[in-house]
């Protein structure tokens, strides 16, 4: 049997090392090598590197069953300057693990070590360590690199930490749990000039400001109130200066939704509003609209299975159905276009700083629960003595 105290000590050491050495999406060379070396040390049957750029896939087989499940963790950091005072703070200027992917990676490594040493399942487990989740491109890159053909599996599970939830709490739900994310950039082109003579041109800043406020009517006046959606302007950039009116302004932001038809309505109305404001202010406009993340839709049966697995964890037994979907996004959703799966939130502590905050830190007290959950769902879905579909 695995020594639990030793496993926790190891996971804390792994996480702190990863936290000190953050790497941005598709640049996780050190992280990927660290992960691959660990998996080989645990005695996995196969360890493949370079999947989708910097992804790693480990394979562990036990028994005779042909069934295969996948467990996934993300590895990338964010372009944020860390302001925390922890002893393991980032050694890389301008980069930090502000979303807890260091913890996610350490938890999955812990599960791989646990399952390699103890077994307790009949079938194959794939350990998928994914790059570039924050970009929304890493899962897609692994899929396009033949992940499913080279390392096939029947279902997939992932975990994300959640500040504000008590440590040891697991939450998930059937159906939509995280939203799609669309990005937009609207460019207004007019004629700039002297700030003292606005009538001599058609400057773009006033029109851009009108556009910002008008975009808020998409959700409040163009969508059914029963639908969940968010339209957020996050940047307004112009080529003006203190005494010069801008001839070009750019309005950038993102939109969140759970249904393709809602996303389509947001884009359509955004183009209508932008064209109308540009015409009213006698200027040209371009609208670029892209869909970066798709909605994350959990399989109903596997969500029940995930909660059931969490409830077997003893001291980590607080598992409940999530009250409502989140309008944050996750590219784990890409995998669920090809096979069923479930994404689960694990508490990072009620006093935790928010995700993507410069003083955020993953809570080491959550590591054992996360690793134990990964192992529990593997054993539940690959049982040694029963058909998992009857579970």
pLDDT (tens digit, 9 = 90+) per residue, 109-135?
999 999 999 999 999 999 999 999 999
- pLDDT class for 317, splitting at 50, 70, 90? low
Q: Which residues pair with 252 in a beta bridge?
A: 185, 235
pLDDT (tens digit, 9 = 90+) per residue, 265-299?
999 999 999 999 999 999 999 999 999 999 999 99
Q: Quote the pLDDT of residue 2.
A: 80
- pLDDT class for 365, splitting at 50, 70, 90? very high
pLDDT (tens digit, 9 = 90+) per residue, 24-51?
999 999 999 999 999 999 999 999 999 9
204 and 313 part of one domain: no
78 and 200 part of one domain: no
266 and 312 part of one domain: no
Distance CA 45, CA 183 (A): 41
- pLDDT class for 318, splitting at 50, 70, 90? confident
Report the chain's terminal Cα–Cα distance, integer Å. Answer: 25
Number of independent structural domains in the chain: 2
**Residue where a domain terminates, one of 293, 313, 347:** 293
Contact 108, 25 (CB under 8 A): no
45 and 171 part of one domain: yes
- Let me know if 135 is exposed, middle or buried by CB neighbors in 10 A (0-12, 13-18, 19+): middle
User: pTM to 2 decimals?
Assistant: 0.92
| DSSP annotation of 10 | H
- pLDDT greater than 90 at residue 253: yes
Q: Name the 3-class secondary structure at 368.
A: helix
252 and 358 part of one domain: no
**Residue where a domain terminates, one of 293, 323, 353:** 293
248-257: strand order across its sheet:
229-238, 248-257, 180-189, 284-293
**Residue 52: C-alpha distances to residues 77, 131, 171 (Å):** 17, 8, 29
- pLDDT greater than 90 at residue 385: no
Q: Quote the pLDDT of residue 386.
A: 65
229 and 164 part of one domain: no
102 and 224 part of one domain: no
Q: Quote the pLDDT of residue 391.
A: 46
DSSP string, 214-263: HHTHIIIIIS-TTS-EEEEEEEEEES-BTTEE-SEEEEEEEEEESSHHHH
349 and 217 part of one domain: no
Distance CA 302, CA 341 (A): 6
Distance CA 112, CA 255 (A): 37
- Token pair for 63: 């028994």
- pLDDT class for 324, splitting at 50, 70, 90? confident
Q: Quote the pLDDT of residue 389.
A: 56
| DSSP annotation of 283 | -
Percent of the chain predicted with pLDDT > 70: 98
Q: What sign does the CA torsion over 362, 366, 369, 372 have?
A: positive
- pLDDT greater than 90 at residue 353: yes
**Residue where a domain terminates, one of 293, 321, 346:** 293
Number of helical (H) and strand (E) elements in the chain, helices listed first: 10, 16
Q: Which letter, b or e, does each residue of 272-283 get, where b requires 16 or more Cβ atoms within 10 Å of its Cβ?
A: ebbeebbeebeb
- CATH number, domain with residue 105: 3.40.630.10
Q: Quote the pLDDT of residue 316.
A: 55
- Give the dihedral of Cα atoms 45, 51, 55, 61; nearest 10 deg: -20
Phi and psi for 155 in degrees, rounded to 5? -160, 165
Percent of the chain predicted with pLDDT > 90: 95
Q: Which residues pair with 230 in a beta bridge?
A: 256
List Cβ neighbours of 2 (8 Å cut-off, separation of 6 or more).
113, 114, 117, 118
169 and 215 part of one domain: no
Q: CA gyration radius for the chain?
A: 24
324 and 307 part of one domain: yes
- pLDDT greater than 90 at residue 390: no
- CATH number, domain with residue 239: 3.30.70.360
Mean per-residue pLDDT over the chain, rounded: 96
Distance CA 368, CA 376 (A): 12
Q: Quote the pLDDT of residue 120.
A: 97
140 and 29 part of one domain: yes
Distance CA 210, CA 220 (A): 16
Distance CA 256, CA 8 (A): 37
Distance CA 208, CA 253 (A): 13
82 versus 320: the higher-pLDDT residue is 82
11 and 120 part of one domain: yes
Distance CA 96, CA 131 (A): 15
- Give the dihedral of Cα atoms 344, 133, 330, 174; nearest 10 deg: -30
Least confident of 89-103, 191-205, 310-324: 310-324
List Cβ neighbours of 13 (8 Å cut-off, separation of 6 or more).
none
- Token pair for 328: 């944050």
Distance CA 32, CA 365 (A): 24
- pLDDT greater than 70 at residue 388: no
Domain extent, residue 256, equals: 180-293
């Amino acid at each position: 049997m695995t020594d639990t105290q030793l496993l926790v000590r190891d996971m804390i050491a792994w996480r702190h090392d990863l936290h000190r050495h953050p790497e941005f999406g598709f640049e996780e060379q050190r992280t990927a090598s660290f992960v691959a070396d660990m998996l080989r040390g645990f005695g996995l049957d196969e360890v493949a590197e370079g999947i989708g750029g910097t992804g790693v896939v480990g394979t562990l087989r036990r028994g005779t069953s042909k069934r295969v499940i996948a467990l996934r963790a993300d590895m990338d950091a964010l372009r944020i300057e860390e302001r925390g005072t922890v002893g393991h703070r980032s050694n890389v200027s301008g980069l930090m693990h502000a979303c807890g992917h260091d913890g996610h990676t350490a938890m999955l490594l812990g599960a791989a070590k646990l399952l390699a040493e103890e077994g307790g399942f009949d079938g194959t487990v794939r350990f998928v360590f994914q790059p570039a989740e924050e970009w929304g491109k890493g899962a897609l890159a692994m899929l396009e690199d033949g992940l499913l053909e080279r390392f096939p599996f029947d279902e997939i599970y992932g975990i994300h930490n959640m500040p504000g939830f008590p440590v040891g709490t697991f939450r998930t739900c059937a159906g939509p749990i995280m939203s799609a994310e669309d990005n937009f950039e609207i460019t207004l082109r007019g004629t700039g000039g002297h700030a003292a003579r606005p009538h001599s041109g058609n400057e773009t800043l006033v029109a851009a400001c009108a556009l910002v406020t008008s975009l808020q009517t998409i959700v409040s006046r163009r969508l059914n109130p029963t639908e969940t959606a968010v339209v957020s302007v996050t940047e307004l950039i112009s080529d003006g200066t203190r005494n010069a009116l801008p001839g070009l302004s750019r309005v950038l932001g993102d939109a969140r939704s759970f249904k393709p038809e809602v996303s389509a309505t947001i884009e359509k109305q955004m183009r209508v509003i932008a064209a109308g404001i540009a015409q009213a202010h006698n200027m040209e406009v371009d609208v670029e609209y892209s869909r970066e993340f798709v909605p994350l839709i959990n399989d109903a049966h596997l969500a029940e299975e995930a909660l059931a697995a969490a409830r077997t964890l003893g001291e980590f037994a607080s598992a409940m159905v999530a009250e409502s979907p989140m309008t944050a996004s996750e590219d784990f959703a890409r995998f669920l276009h090809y096979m069923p799966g479930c994404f689960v939130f694990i508490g990072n502590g009620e006093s935790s700083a928010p995700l993507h905050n410069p003083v955020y830190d993953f809570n080491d007290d959550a590591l054992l629960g996360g690793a134990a959950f990964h192992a529990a769902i593997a054993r539940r879905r690959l049982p040694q003595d029963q058909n998992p579909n009857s579970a």
